[in-house]
A and B are shown apart, each in its own frame.
Chain A
């Protein structure tokens, strides 16, 4: 397992408030990792930095075999390099069909002219149907995405991420607002994805994290407080003090 993403010594300050403080983090490929931490620990800001939405004041973000820095790339370039992100609130294109959502996400040339001249091939259609099968939306391909249930939207978004064929998946609270059955399905989807790629899951729900059965990183006040198995970190007194004890 080689290192895919390495974040080292990163700090970000918003109006004097230190959201990320000398944070270091590394993940290999394939690997599943859960990030937990109380509100304001810097979980979302961490994702913002990796995806290019926020520029850190100092530190390095190194990607891939060629050790490229991600800090100079635009959001779109970072996605094209192979990093996909799922937001906390499900964000799909509500006015378009499930099929259209997946088609737009498929890994293909993203330039305006290439997209204008794009005509869907049979391979595209097969891939879209295959993805729809994986996320359990085969019967809803022609449904307007705004009308499917909350859980289905979450899966659609995961499907859109998989369609991009990223090497690293960043997933923000995928189980929020889901029923138990929906959670189980989501766990399966993520575990399956983590067999071939790196997956980072930010989650509040300990039960969900336990089911992911992976290494856990605990963030607190913008830096790593503890790292290890779930049992290891939940036994750590500092973790209990800042997070679990409350």
Chain B
């Protein structure tokens, strides 16, 4: 561990900044501090940390291994759905149990179960649990699925794609197709995840009486912890010989193959690891967002992710985090109605519409004038200090 800190100076710096930010938000929160930061802003910041975590996962596959995945939000949303199923089941079970407790004859287990199913699936015309909800009563199993479901999807997809040596833009298109297909599948009412209604009320933790002002800070802490651990893990994976081989695959895949490395195995490892990190990020994001629906998997979301990482700077981990934080927070500010509109006589620039133009312009400028992204500027500054 100490060696990792010495080799990669960004690791201790990053962890300290993350801890400082988390502490600062906590002492300004409504739940534990002065209240300078509203609960909804605490949630936004916690969600931003989750987006930083998936950007980290994206940098691992794209920045280090050269696999431009444009389907990572499929893994992110899968993680969210997996934890969402337990949250929704457990909370509904509590509500139903409380409502029926007053009745003279206590309901049987089957009646209780049917009542829960009707409560959850009535909106899509269902009255029983689909097969995929088999483990929804177990927090432990659903947490395991947060890791297993995205991991398995990535493993099957990656195994098929890498073994057939699909690379470059063709692979990117396939990942887009993957997330689009999953999104369309989930939109169907009879899939079993409530179609376009998605899962809602996820911000209410079953069995927890604490107000949102407190739980929002808990989730902020959990997100910060996950981001810190994720950063450590990614930094460790790309350090040492494994990182050298993986960067070799990015720069010259045939050469690595002719050194005798099973390139497919390395790509699969990185892809699955990245998908699992994305799944965990999603499982922390959606309880803060409160709702998840198939729109979250739309192909555009994963493209935005690539834009964040490109703006932040690939192949340096902190670049991805900076890109995700800056762009997603700016996006929230511009599209949230806070940014002042600019009247131009006959026409008024409304940022809700013009934000995407600004983002596109920023992307072009970064690509042209700072190809190493915002993270590259940090490199320049730290090098100047050394010199």
Q: Which residues of A contact B (CB under 8 A)?
A: 51, 74-76, 79-80, 84-85, 87, 91-96, 100, 103-105, 110-113, 115-116, 118-120, 160, 164
Contact = CB atoms under 8 A, between A and B. Distances in A.
Contacts of A94: 251
Contacts of B254: 91
Given A111-B262, A112-B265, A103 B252 contact: no
B259 A105 contact: yes
Given A95-B251, A116-B237, A79 B260 contact: yes
Contacts of A111: 262, 265
Nearest to B250: A95
Contact of B247 (A75, A95, A105, A120): A95
* Range, interface on chain B: 20 to 34
Contacts of B240: 116, 118-120
B162 to A, nearest CB: 12
B252 to A, nearest CB: 6
Interface in B199-253: 237, 240-242, 244-245, 247-248, 251-252
B247 A96 contact: yes
Interface string B148-187: 0000000000000000000000000000000000000000
B257 A76 contact: yes
Contact of B241 (A75, A91, A103): A103
A118 to B, nearest CB: 5
Interface of B: 237, 240-242, 244-245, 247-248, 251-252, 254-263, 265-266, 269
A93 B237 CA distance: 19
A112 B244 contact: no
27 contacts: A74-B262, A76-B257, A76-B260, A79-B257, A79-B258, A79-B259, A84-B258, A87-B255, A87-B258, A93-B251, A95-B247, A96-B244, A96-B248, A103-B241, A104-B241, A105-B259, A110-B260, A110-B261, A110-B262, A111-B265, A112-B242, A112-B265, A112-B266, A115-B242, A115-B261, A116-B240, A116-B242
Contacts of A51: 258
Contact of B244 (A104, A110, A164): A104
Nearest to B256: A104
A84 B260 CA distance: 9
A85 B241 CA distance: 21
Contacts of A95: 247, 251
Interface centre among B241, B251, B252, B269 (most CB of A within 10 A): B241
Given A96-B247, A104-B241, A111-B265, A75 B257 contact: yes
A193 to B, nearest CB: 17
A93 B269 contact: no
Given A118-B240, A118-B242, A85 B258 contact: yes
A112 B242 CA distance: 7
Contacts of A93: 244, 247-248, 251-252, 255
B244 A103 contact: yes
A104 B269 CA distance: 18
Contacts of A76: 257, 260-263
Contacts of B255: 87, 91-93
B17 to A, nearest CB: 27
Nearest to B240: A118
B348 to A, nearest CB: 48
Nearest to A91: B255
A91 B257 CA distance: 12
Given A95-B251, A110-B262, 18 more contacts: A74-B262, A75-B257, A75-B258, A79-B257, A84-B258, A92-B255, A93-B244, A93-B248, A93-B252, A95-B247, A96-B248, A104-B241, A111-B265, A112-B266, A112-B269, A115-B242, A118-B240, A160-B259
A15 B241 CA distance: 41
B241 A118 contact: yes
Nearest to A119: B240
A105 B260 CA distance: 9
- The 6 A-B residue pairs with the shortest CB-CB distance, nearest first, are A79-B260, A116-B242, A118-B241, A112-B269, A80-B260, A112-B265
A136 B334 CA distance: 58
Contact of A115 (B241, B247, B252): B241
A93 B254 CA distance: 11
